[in-house]
Amino acid sequence: MAENDITFQHEILETIINCAYEWIVVVDEKGRIIYINKNYCEFLGKNREEIIGKHVTEVIENTRMHIVVQTGKEEIADLHYIKGNYMIANRIPIFSNGKVIGAVGTVIFRDTNEWKRMNSHIRSLLPQLQTYLQEWKEDNGAKYTLQDIISQSKQMEILKEKVKRIADSDISVLIRGESGTGKELFAHSIHQLSSRSSKPFIKVNCGAIPEHLLESELFGYEEGAFTGARKGGKKGKFQLADGGTIFLDEIGDMPLHMQVKLLRVLQEKEIEPVGATKTVSVDVRIIAATNRPLEKMIEEKRFREDLYYRINVVPFIIPPLRERPEDIRVLTYHFIDKIGKRCGKRITAVDEEVLQIFSQHVWPGNIRELENVIEAAVHFANGETITVEALPEYLKTNTVYQLEGKTLKQLLEETEKVIIQKSLALHKNDKLKAAKALGISKSAIYEKIKKYGLDN
């Protein structure tokens, strides 16, 4: 066949595809986009050249194409929420010699209005369905994806790639990093990219639940298990997460007797509700997070070594903001846009002197601290540019550090002490409020107060 004939036939096929389907996308066995038609690109507001080769989750929100590749199961007439609309989509795996080599996705209806016009019965049910989906997302769904992790540093891009590689397995993950680095965002993202994404994502803050209530919160209880127990009993977090993912935040604050029970869940895949006479099987993936030095806690007999190795199958260490200064500028403008929209204030620029101060600050509160600083600056800014005058006082008065003769650890401790002092003063020495404002646990702030002699 002549080369001109092949080119002609290719052009015909391209035209047919663009006309036959409103939108179409094809991914390979790893979920990377290998074809997307012109109309879909126009809707997404992207050039085809910049889309081809990217993982589909980076391009299409709430997509399940990568999951269809993994499961090999087609999804027909599925609701797909994208850019503020529910759309109706098909996702079909592509097989070769009995092996999945990719998947093709098509949008049947560009928006739910077309679907409504087809079927009045469905039209009457759709508002109820949308309300149900919204309630389900609020109660059980993870809120964040990889797109919510704003960065351009090499360290963070490596971590994002690691998420994509391990997300669909069931192995336990331990996310470590200082307070405010974004541990929860990574936990949400792992769940969203897994085959469990349609199942519950349940978060438990192990440091926020009183010790005497933690067992019943995690494992539930039977009717009459204790005085005040709810009639009919109550399901615990593990039962609520069955089939999905449970995120154990601040696992380093979990008491030893609960660590033993958690270890049993990991080993036996079953729980025993308080007051129950038999166990209940659960299928749950565990993602844990901590900013505590678990290895040191093991030496001090405050954390079980066997549990550590069970949850630390895949370790994630998120670098603090001071170790990735190239992320400060992009995060600053991201928060300006986010906060500006929320409070209705237009900010278009940041003074270079402000960015210089940001680059010199050590950010003991990391990204959470940066967001709080930007929120204050947006409200105090005069005009459309954030200047030094709009910054909190502690940043304006601590722009120059006496570096000579001091290690990085000493500098960080000095800054941390000042911030804790200011937080305690701001909250009239209410330690729980100060801890919450700084995004650290109750036990962590008590330890730091003792360390820096602030309890006088």
* Terminal-residue alpha carbon distance, the chain: 89
Adjacent-strand bridge partners of 350: 386
pLDDT at 224: 67
Which CATH number fits the domain that encloses residue 363? Answer: 1.10.8.60
346: which residues sit within 8 A by CB, 6+ positions away? 340, 384
d(CA 201, CA 141) in angstroms, rounded, equals 5
Q: What is the dihedral of CA 200, 367, 54, 44, to 10 degrees?
A: 80
Average pLDDT of span 364-382: 91
Which CA distances in Å does 1 have to 7, 14, 15, 229, 302?
A: 10, 19, 21, 79, 74
pLDDT at 6: 61
Q: Taking 60 as the threshold, does the pLDDT of residue 135 lie above it? A: no
d(CA 362, CA 148) in angstroms, rounded, equals 23
State the residue for tokens 């595809």: 17
* 260 within domain boundaries: yes
Q: Model pTM? A: 0.62
- Could you tell me if 176 and 46 lie in one domain? no
- Could you tell me if 150 and 264 lie in one domain? yes
- Could you tell me if 173 and 271 lie in one domain? yes
- Could you tell me if 379 and 345 lie in one domain? yes
Share of the chain above pLDDT 90, in %: 45
Which CATH number fits the domain that encloses residue 177? Answer: 3.40.50.300
Of 62, 82, 109, which residue sits at a domain end?
A: 109
Q: Taking 70 as the threshold, does the pLDDT of residue 237 lie above it? A: yes
Which CATH number fits the domain that encloses residue 93? Answer: 3.30.450.20
Share of the chain above pLDDT 70, in %: 84
- Which H/E stretch holds residue 12? helix 3-20
pLDDT at 262: 93
Average pLDDT of span 392-406: 65
Mean of per-residue pLDDT scores for the chain: 84
Q: Taking 90 as the threshold, does the pLDDT of residue 225 lie above it? A: no
62-71, 161-170, 349-358, 422-431: segment of lowest average pLDDT = 422-431
- As for how many domains the chain has, the answer is 4
105-119, 120-134, 373-387: segment of lowest average pLDDT = 120-134
Backbone angles phi, psi at 247, to 5 degrees: -105, 110
SS (H, E, C) 65-125: HHHHHHHCCCEEEEEEEECCEEEEEEEEEEEECCEEEEEEEEEEECCHHHHHHHCHHHHHH
* 382 within domain boundaries: yes
Of 376, 397, 418, which residue sits at a domain end?
A: 397
- Could you tell me if 166 and 307 lie in one domain? yes
Q: Which domain holds residue 443?
A: 408-452
Q: Taking 70 as the threshold, does the pLDDT of residue 286 lie above it? A: yes
Token digits for 87? 């759309």
Q: What is the dihedral of CA 13, 16, 17, 20, to 10 degrees?
A: -160
Q: Confidence class of residue 448 from pLDDT cuts 50, 70 and 90? A: confident
- Could you tell me if 226 and 89 lie in one domain? no
* 123 within domain boundaries: no
Q: Taking 50 as the threshold, does the pLDDT of residue 119 lie above it? A: no
pLDDT at 277: 82
- Could you tell me if 301 and 206 lie in one domain? yes
Cβ atoms 25, 40 nearer than 8 A: yes
d(CA 277, CA 193) in angstroms, rounded, equals 37
pLDDT at 240: 92
pLDDT at 133: 56
Burial of 245 (0-12, 13-18, 19+ CB in 10 A): buried
Q: Taking 70 as the threshold, does the pLDDT of residue 231 lie above it? A: yes
* 125 within domain boundaries: no
* 195 within domain boundaries: yes
* 130 within domain boundaries: no
Token digits for 166? 């391990």
Of 267, 292, 317, which residue sits at a domain end?
A: 317
Q: Taking 50 as the threshold, does the pLDDT of residue 388 lie above it? A: yes
Average pLDDT of span 262-288: 91
d(CA 280, CA 52) in angstroms, rounded, equals 46
Q: Which of 87-91, 319-323, 419-423 has the highest mean pLDDT?
A: 319-323
- Could you tell me if 61 and 205 lie in one domain? no
Return the higher-pLDDT residue of 33 and 86.
33
* 84 within domain boundaries: yes
SS (H, E, C) 170-220: CCCEEEECCCCCCHHHHHHHHHHCCCCCCCCEEEEECCCCCHHHHHHHHHC
Burial of 116 (0-12, 13-18, 19+ CB in 10 A): middle
Cβ atoms 75, 90 nearer than 8 A: yes
Cβ atoms 34, 43 nearer than 8 A: no
Token digits for 274? 């308080």
Residue 432: half-sphere exposure toward Cβ, Cα within 13 Å: 3
What type of residue is 166?
Answer: I
pLDDT at 3: 55
* 119 within domain boundaries: no
- Could you tell me if 309 and 366 lie in one domain? no
- Could you tell me if 300 and 416 lie in one domain? no
Average pLDDT of span 257-280: 90
CB atoms within 10 A of CB 118: 11
- Could you tell me if 313 and 336 lie in one domain? no
- Could you tell me if 63 and 206 lie in one domain? no
Cβ atoms 187, 143 nearer than 8 A: no
